[in-house]
């Protein structure tokens, strides 16, 4: 079975990131307001990025990682501008949030 991490561009310029095992159905659910919440209040939405994964856990981990990215880094991913993705990965103004502590 294939699982997907995906990103939608929402009205107002924001991005929504999720994961699913049926990409076409999930996108249709977002567009029809069947899924209440963030996207239903920001229609129309457009699929701008997706990647398939071998397991639900991998797709979920990709979703969580991308949700923590800046708008600029998400845009670089959508454009497949790997240099910009890398550049944004190295731009850190504050402490790492992964360590659980601020120094």
Q: Which residue shows structure tokens 């994964």?
A: 53
| Residue 79 to residue 49: CA distance in whole angstroms | 9
The CATH number assigned to the domain with range 3-90 reads 3.40.1440
Question: For residue range 20-68, what is the model confidence (pLDDT) as tens digits?
Answer: 999 999 999 999 999 999 999 999 999 999 999 999 999 999 999 999 9
- 89: pLDDT confidence band, cut at 50, 70 and 90? confident
User: What is the signed CA dihedral for 83, 78, 40, 60, rounded to 10 degrees?
Assistant: -70
Q: How far apart are the first and last CA of the chain?
A: 43
What average pLDDT does the structure give for the chain?
A: 89
- 88: pLDDT confidence band, cut at 50, 70 and 90? confident
Which of these, 50, 90, 100, lies nearest to 70 by C-alpha position?
Answer: 90
Angle between helices 71-79 and 82-90 (to 10 degrees): 160
Q: What is the pLDDT of residue 95?
A: 47
Domain boundaries, the chain: 3-90
């Amino acid at each position: 079975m294939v699982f997907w991490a995906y990103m939608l561009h929402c009205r107002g310029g924001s991005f929504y990131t999720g994961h699913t095992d049926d990409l076409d159905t999930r996108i249709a659910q977002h567009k029809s307001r069947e899924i209440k919440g963030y996207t239903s209040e920001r229609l129309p939405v457009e699929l701008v990025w997706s990647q398939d994964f071998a397991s639900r856990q991998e797709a979920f981990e990709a979703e969580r990682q991308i949700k923590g990215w800046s708008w600029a880094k998400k845009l670089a991913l959508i454009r497949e501008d790997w240099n910009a993705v890398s550049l944004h990965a190295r731009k850190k103004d504050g402490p790492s949030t992964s360590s659980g502590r601020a120094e």
